Amino acid sequence: MIAKIFLVLLILTLASSNEVKITAGQLQGNSSCNVTNCSACFADVAVCEQCDLSFYLLSNGCLQCTLNVSNCANCSYNNGTSSVDCSDCEPTFTLNNANACISCSLATPNCTSCTFDSAFNITNCSACTPTYYLDQTQTCILCSATINFCLLCDANATSQSASCTQCQDTYLLIDSSTCTACSTVYNNCTACNQTDNTCASCASGFFLANSAKACISCTSFNPACLTCSNDGTDNPACTACADRTILVNGTC
């Protein structure tokens, strides 16, 4: 037992003085390590050499980076300053000169990715939340604020504005700068397919004809039919009838 303790102390002493070079063959996976959150340790002894990501090594223990630096994803212990140095922050955060992870959205509202410019001590946004685009002033602008009824958009380097890529549910994308109501393109249409710019559903009293991709009045096949549904074969079934008529098997 004494000999084993002496061996552990000797290895630690030599390793810290760089007199012993630890090779990959001398390290084992954490299945052999008795230290929690240790990813590699010395062979045959419970001495940790390297911790898992988001942890740092101190006194043969692996401590979480966020205990010292909030929102830090990767770090190491600095023996010279007896402090924890963060090297990488969690997503949507960036590392500043003060060894702190600052939120991208704190510097630029609705920013999801950013970098810190140490020379000018400022945070530069590089990406915004999906319904916003990044303009040339490093500001996240709501897509619908630039293009009416636009849901998703990209920054347009040529026009220095935005290019719409998807409109809101009841609108169709006519071009990169125009969203038009579905009912303007397709009469009595209440929702559109954004992928192929076709009508997806119709107003009450109409059914969506698969062949014509248009909204057809329920009364066109049955004058007493108030509401109907398409069965997929362009032969709609009535679901409600006018007064003094009754519904029988989808027909008034």
Which residues lie closer than 8 Å to 71 by C-beta, 6 or more apart?
A: 89, 90, 93, 101, 103
| 3-state DSSP assignment of residue 193 | strand
Q: Which of 43-52, 174-183, 192-201, 203-212 has the highest mean pLDDT?
A: 174-183
| 3-state DSSP assignment of residue 215 | strand
The answer on pLDDT for 252 being more than 80 is yes
More confident residue, 194 or 140: 140
Listed residue (95, 132, 131, 133) closest to 114, CA to CA: 95
State how beta strands 27-28 and 38-42 pair. antiparallel
Q: Which of 30-39, 78-87, 188-197, 208-217 has the highest mean pLDDT?
A: 78-87
Which residues lie closer than 8 Å to 194 by C-beta, 6 or more apart?
A: 166, 167, 173
Which tens digit of pLDDT belongs to each residue from 9-39?
434 443 443 333 333 334 444 455 788 898 8
As given in the structure block, the two tokens for residue 41 are: 């340790």
What was the pLDDT predicted at 208? 87
Beta bridge partners of 55: 64
Which tens digit of pLDDT belongs to each residue from 160-196?
678 899 998 889 888 888 999 988 888 998 888 877 8
